[in-house]
Copies of this chain bind each other. A is one copy, B any other.
């Protein structure tokens, strides 16, 4: 890539200067155990929202709003439990500038020292030898959230004008299903978010540990269940084995014909919907920093279905997959139980990719399962149904936002970023795109080995500081585009 570099060195230098202050700001955020799934810690989640409100106020944000989302729906222990607020704020309101919405979340996963943490998860530990910051939320997602505040502070210190209008949207329930967020986005699309030109989300990770990435695609997920009903109640296999049709037998037979051991989906018609692989897309995989060994390390096994990097990445990102998750209603305990289960429910899901039509996929699944069941000629009854679906997302990695982020990344890291997709889904991405009618950029700060939901979650200091530079640089390149 060759491009006109912007004179961002003073900004980067200022960010380096402010490093001790930025570490302290993150330490204060980590110290608040804003665990959204623990009802007893809900007051601390609210403390975290107020912490952000104070920071935004101090930095000069305006129109700061703490959006009340009402009571948390069941199941909850406390029927009057309030959802934590969504924190909104603006920095700049210049009609001649573009407007960037940045999303992040201030709640975290649970963490207890006893889980196996080397240090207190809510007392951030700076390993100065390795320059790594350890603590719950360092990478997911307080590091990036605080990063945006740091960018504003650096501009304030430099007395630089921000090149865009910034809108922040920080939620406190991301780790617990983002309750209330979708409704708020829909409601504010034409109000608080009315002038937004693009959305930037920093809530995913580099593919590996050494090369920065920009993420332009996510797979979707359609989740199904097959319900087989037989006898009126569970039966004893001694008395009834061999004389009644067993629901487990039918279910296992049908489930065995959905996918094979090489990962090939056996439902006819799905392959026809997959967008063809172009030479241009194929070439994108060549330079991406990844290996079979990295997959094996991540899975803790040597169970890779593919023997080369490109096939692994394509099957993770741009081809569908089908996973059999389990069976409800069968004997699932340890040991032996001689039961003929009366009703069993098989669970499976299909990860979707362009250009799979979700409704058409459902129909192909239903037709295939019903055809298999008809072949069984069983007196049991079988029903297949969709539990939930979420669409795939793919953006244009050559649009203005990605181009701006790529330039900023190269300025900071002296390397072109990899353009990656992810196998999983981040539902809020599609919500923003749909409700606001804008592009979305996924601009990760942390590394693939940060252990977002594990013990000893960490953020390398270089990722934190260079991440702040990249976020800031992105705003400048995007503002000029």
Give 19 A-B pairs besides A238-B423, A240-B423, A241-B423 with Cβ atoms closer than 8 angstroms: A221-B237, A221-B238, A225-B336, A230-B301, A233-B300, A240-B316, A242-B305, A242-B316, A243-B423, A244-B304, A246-B323, A248-B325, A249-B263, A250-B261, A256-B256, A325-B340, A327-B332, A328-B333, A335-B387
Quick one: which of B259, B315, B387 contacts A249, CB cutoff 8 A? B259
Stretch from A2-10, A145-153, A181-189, A374-382 at the B interface = A374-382
Interface residues on chain A, number (Cβ under 8 Å) = 84
Instruction: Please tell me how many copies of the chain the complex holds.
Output: 2
Q: How far is the CA of A361 from the CA of B46 in the complex (A)?
A: 64
Complex interface: chain B residues within 8 A of A325 (CB): 237, 248, 330-331, 336-341
Whether A481 is near chain B, meaning CB under 8 Å from some CB there, is no
Whether A243 pairs with B323 at a CB distance below 8 angstroms is: no
Chain B residue numbers with a CB within 8 Å of A248 are: 323-326
Q: Which residues of the other chain, B, contact A257 by a CB distance below 8 angstroms?
A: 256
In angstroms, Cα B263 to Cα A379, docked, is: 12
B249:A324 contact, CB within 8 angstroms: yes
C-beta contact mask, A195-223 vs B, less than 8 Å → 1, else 0? 00000000000000000000000010101
- 23 A-B Cβ contacts within 8 A? A221-B237, A221-B338, A223-B338, A230-B301, A231-B300, A231-B301, A235-B299, A237-B321, A237-B325, A239-B424, A240-B299, A240-B316, A242-B263, A242-B315, A242-B316, A243-B423, A244-B304, A249-B263, A250-B261, A261-B376, A325-B341, A326-B341, A327-B327
Q: Which 5 pairs of residues, A with B, have the shortest CB-CB distance? A: A232-B300, A238-B424, A326-B330, A242-B321, A326-B331
Q: Cβ of A349 < 8 Å from any Cβ of B?
A: yes
Contacts A252-B324, A299-B231 hold; do A351 and B261 have CB atoms under 8 A apart? no
